[in-house]
Amino acid sequence: MKINGTLISYFFICKTKLWLHANRINLEDNSEDVRIGKILHEINEEKSKKSEISIDNIKIDKLTRDYLVEIKKSDSDPEAVKWQVLLYLYKLKQKGVERKGKIEFIEKNRQDKKVHYIELDEVNEKELLDILKRIETIINQDTPPQAKFENKCKKCAYYEYCFI
Amino acid sequence: MAKNHTRYIFSMGELKRKDNSIAFRNEKGNFYIPIQDTRELYCMNEVSFNTKFLDFISRAGITLHLFNYHGNYSGSFYPKEQLVSGDLTIKQSMCFIEQRLVIAKAIVEAIAANIYETLYHYFRHGKKELKQTLDWLKNDVKKFLCKDLTIEQILFIEGQIWSRFYDSFKYFLPKDFVMNKRVKRPPDNPINALVSFGNTLLYTKTISSIYETHLNQTISFLHSPREGRFSLSLDISEAFKPIVVFKTIFDLVGKKRLQVTKHFDKSLNYALLNEEGKKIFIDAFETRINETFMHKKLKRKTSFKNCIKLDGYKLIKYIVEGKDFKPFLLKEKV
Ligand code: SF4
């Protein structure tokens, strides 16, 4: 299985979610906000030309001469975003494209955006490969890792599935 | 939560896309239905539309259920983007081969338990004649279901449960509504008409709910998968019939909000609801299915309608993880 940005971020957010999503039990479209957003997106799709770039199975927000830019709406999971970007940098590098990573957090109701820079180096590349291996192991298990209730579950789209 | 996303159209007319809304036109003019709060559209009368309209609602993730004038279900239109999981379908098929009886028994047990709850209400209010049926539901059914049974035997028990349930109506329903036997097609008396109409509504709701899960609608356990395209929805809806469909019927009939001479079609021997009757029924049905309560396990408010989807999740967990499958029980609210 090809590991994409969503899977690597779920690895940091929740292993149960990682397994469920990877095994095609993907429920995140159920929340009303997401649904409405998706509807409007779907319907207006004809008009909008997306600036997103798609390479392999990853989607990149923006690629400039120096940077790969990832834009996020909140910085609630900085660790997950960091590894997501490192994965993209790694995939680009394999195609002979070397860039640095730039992460922009655009918080709602706030003007100033936080920007983080990140580079793929020998150390984190090794760590990345190790993470990818661990993700493979988890998603290849027959059953999902046991869900343990934490605060984040309250807002998770999988809540009903996990705790029914 | 528990917002009602269902729209019913009772009159003849035409459905169209108008910008980002659904427009319904009949001789009285244009009506607009915002897509944001719509998930299901029920056409209870002759309605026309074109493929442009279907493409639009498909993108918006809206399901269309079609009924003919007599209230018979004709079919549904589904958005193309379905949650499908090849893996799950394979496991679901294996589960049918290896565990069919376990799931079928669980469903029948839930039917009996939920009928028990429904009847117990009348017993508590003085209908002591129900005692025998209640005891039978509580003790005997459980004992039968513990045995090694074939699917035919399980279906036989299910049949017995329903027929005893119908037999008990004479103790608490007004005389003109009591039925002698359950005849499905065509319904030959008012109560049969209500049961058929209610079961069909519940069935379409279940189809929509299961559609939000990754289950394959054609692989069912109690009903034979040969029975139809959505036979799994027949299975999942069973446990909810007593508490949603029959509860609605008993309330409407008991409170005389539905009356034989007023709300049924006389020319058809009162064997079909008339338009006014259908509206009253649908209104009460929607209210009931969207009624909210605290889910004992999730510790959240939920509706009966959402519990249908949750039963789908339980089934997935049984199929994928081997967790016990127990359909929704009114008494335990899980
Ligand atoms: S509900 Fe909790 S355990 Fe389940 S997927 Fe979400 S975060 Fe993970």
- Provide the ipTM: 0.85
Q: What is the pLDDT of residue B229?
A: 76
Q: Which helix (H) or strand (E) holds A8?
A: helix A5-13
B86-332, CATH topology level: Four Helix Bundle (Hemerythrin (Met), subunit A) (1.20.120)
Just give the CATH number of B6-77: 3.100.10.20
Q: Where are the domains of chain B?
A: 6-77, 86-332
Domain region containing A88: 5-163
pLDDT 10s digits, B129-180: 999 999 999 999 999 999 999 999 999 999 999 999 999 999 999 888 876 5
C-alpha A150 to ligand 1 mean position (Å):
8
Half-sphere exposure of A72 (CA within 13 A, CB side): 22
Q: What is the pLDDT of residue B185?
A: 56
CA distance B102 to B222: 10
A147 lines ligand 1 (CB under 6 A): yes
B297 neighbourhood in chain A, CB within 8 Å: 163-164
Which of A24, A42, A144 minimises the CB distance to B214? A24
The residue type of B132 is: Q
The tokens for B52 are 């442009």
Q: What is the pLDDT of residue B1?
A: 39
CA distance B296 to B311: 14
A12 lines ligand 1 (CB under 6 A): no
pLDDT 10s digits, A37-87: 666 666 666 554 456 677 776 778 888 888 998 888 777 788 999 999 999
A162 lines ligand 1 (CB under 6 A): yes
pLDDT 10s digits, B201-251: 999 999 999 988 889 999 999 998 887 778 999 999 999 999 999 999 999
**Chain-centroid distance, C-alpha B35:** 24
For residue B43, which phi and psi values (nearest 5 degrees)?
Answer: -100, 115
The residue type of B79 is: P
Alpha carbon of A129 to those of A133, A136, B87, B297, B314: distances in Å?
A: 6, 11, 27, 39, 36
Ligand 1, residue A152: give the atom nearest the CA: 7
Cβ atoms of A144 and B321 within 8 Å: the answer is yes
CB contact under 8 A, A25 and B317: no
Please give the share of chain A, as a percent, with pLDDT higher than 70: 80
Task: State the binding site of B.
Answer: 158, 223, 238
The tokens for B45 are 């009368």
The count of domains in chain A is: 1
- Per-residue confidence at B306, pLDDT binned at 50, 70, 90? very high
A159 lines ligand 1 (CB under 6 A): yes
> What is the distance in angstroms between the Cα of A9 and the nearest Cα belonging to chain B?
22
Interface test with chain A among B317, B325, B329, by most A beta carbons within 10 Å: B317
Specify the CATH number for the domain of residue A142: 3.90.320.10
Burial class from Cβ neighbours inside 10 Å (0-12, 13-18, 19+) for residue B222 reads: buried
CA distance B22 to B56: 9
Q: What is the pLDDT of residue A40?
A: 67
pLDDT 10s digits, B59-112: 888 899 999 888 889 999 988 766 777 788 999 999 999 999 999 999 999 999
